Amino acid sequence: MSSTELKLPLVDLDGYINPRAPGDRERVIAEVREACESFGFFQTTGHNIPLQTQKELLKSIDTLFELPQEEKRKLSYLENPCRRGYEESGMSLRTGDALPDSKEAYYIGREDPVVEHGGFYGPNVWPPLPTEEFRTPVWEYYQATNKLAVVIWEILLQGLGYPTSVMEAFTKRPMVIMKMIRYPPLEKTLPDQFGVGAHTDFGGVTVLLQQPGRDGLEVWTEERKEWVPVQALEDVYVINCGDMISQWSGGRYKSAKHRVINKADKQSRLSCATFYHGDALARNPLNNDDPNKATVGQRLIARFQKQFTLPPEFTAAASS
Ligand SMILES: O=C(O)CCC(=O)C(=O)O
Ligand SMILES: [Fe+2]
């Protein structure tokens, strides 16, 4: 089978969110488990995020990235104690890739009033756009994906035989980072440059919205040693597991390598990833005897130490 024929599993979450018959939920739980054991990725419908909310989010992302470059630079995440704000094209370098990512990104997260735990918690940076054009639709979308991520976490935990109440042990103040992304057209990308170079996601559950019709995401299958292209379909989300949940599951759920290259010659590509981890200070809630005693926050630091500029108090927390 050639790579173009291989597709990610498609799971309809409606049976879990609005069960109508006995066994509906169990069926969805089994389908998600199967997908995450084989691929670490799946696509999904029946997710309960209104199409209008998705469209408004994409419009807001477009408006944001259309701001003049000097305006965007003023919002740099490198200047922000919580690493919220704007990441310019060419700033993320991936191991093994000669060239840095071509994408530009903008990060928001939980809205906490004060900076705490070296910036894991704190306020967002909002761009100088009318509230109704950016902050309101983006925040509505952020909350909707938070809810969806909780549903996915619950399904994944039940797939391993745990009750959903396990969530309480590590999600009192979950770190939920949302990354809005714009990829330049292919003709503006250097040869051998990726939009996002091959990587695994750091932590928990990722909820990804791709701009419909703008393909570009590819997922690595270890079994076949192939990159599987993922279609960007309207109202269809991509869900994947990160390294932390993979480790917590004892390796049952895969954290698959993936990369993005915008396939469109002349059009940019938008996407938005919500990464739902756990409390900064939480440890593996599934195994008290896990020899890896790192907190969620420490894992995050260890992973991004090279990629992001981190304040010293933060880095110190990683090694303690
Ligand atoms: O834009 C995409 O389709 C995927 C982005 C991604 O993998 C990431 O930001 O971690
Ligand atoms: Fe990713």
Domain count, the chain: 1
**Cβ-proximal residues to 26 (8 Å cutoff; 6+ apart), any chain:** none
Residue 238 within a domain: yes
The domain of 188 spans: 41-319
Give the mean model confidence (pLDDT) for residues 165-181.
97
pLDDT at 302 over 90: no
Residue 32 within a domain: no
Residue 126 within a domain: yes
Residue 242 within a domain: yes
Ligand 2 centroid, distance to 125 Cα (angstroms): 22
Residue 2 within a domain: no
Q: Give the CATH number of the domain where residue 255 resides.
A: 2.60.120.330
- Ligand with smallest separation from the Cα of 237: 1
State which amino acid sits at residue 133.
Answer: E
Residue 193 within a domain: yes
Q: pLDDT digit string (tens) for 197-211?
A: 999 999 999 999 999
Question: Which of 89-93, 138-142, 241-245 is predicted least confidently?
Answer: 89-93
pLDDT at 251 over 50: yes
**Model confidence band, residue 108 (pLDDT cutoffs 50, 70, 90):** very high
| Contact indicator for 75, 127 with CB cutoff of 8 Å | yes
Ligand 2 centroid, distance to 132 Cα (angstroms): 29
| Structure-token pair, residue 163 | 């009750």
Give the mean model confidence (pLDDT) for residues 172-184.
98
Helix (H, G, I), strand (E, B) or coil at 315: helix
**Closest Cα partner for 196 from 235, 225, 224, 230?**
230
Side by side, the strands of the sheet bearing 174-183 are 10-12, 41-45, 237-241, 205-210, 269-279, 174-183, 104-108, 85-87
Residue 19 within a domain: no
Ligand 2 centroid, distance to 134 Cα (angstroms): 24
Angle, helix 135-159 to helix 51-65, in steps of 10 degrees:
120
**Model confidence band, residue 306 (pLDDT cutoffs 50, 70, 90):** low
pLDDT at 319 over 50: no
pLDDT at 310 over 70: no
Q: pLDDT digit string (tens) for 41-56?
A: 999 999 999 999 999 9
CA distances from 64 to 180, 191, 208, 273 (A): 10, 27, 19, 16
Q: pLDDT digit string (tens) for 55-92?
A: 999 999 999 999 999 999 999 999 999 999 999 998 88
**Model confidence band, residue 1 (pLDDT cutoffs 50, 70, 90):** very low
In this structure, what are the phi and psi dihedrals at residue 212, rounded to the nearest 5 degrees?
-55, 135
**Model confidence band, residue 6 (pLDDT cutoffs 50, 70, 90):** confident
For the CA of 179, the closest atom of ligand 1 is 9
Give the mean model confidence (pLDDT) for residues 115-130.
96
ipTM, 2 decimals?
0.99
**Closest Cα partner for 110 from 81, 143, 135?**
143
Nearest residue by C-alpha to atom 10 in ligand 1: 201
**Model confidence band, residue 307 (pLDDT cutoffs 50, 70, 90):** low
Give the mean model confidence (pLDDT) for residues 216-229.
95
Measured distance between the N- and C-terminal CA atoms of the chain, rounded to whole angstroms: 49
Residue 4 within a domain: no
Q: Which of 208, 304, 307 to mutate to test the pocket of ligand 1 (most atoms within 8 A of CB)?
A: 208
Q: Which of 97, 209, 233, 258 to mutate to test the pocket of ligand 1 (most atoms within 8 A of CB)?
A: 258
pTM, full prediction: 0.94
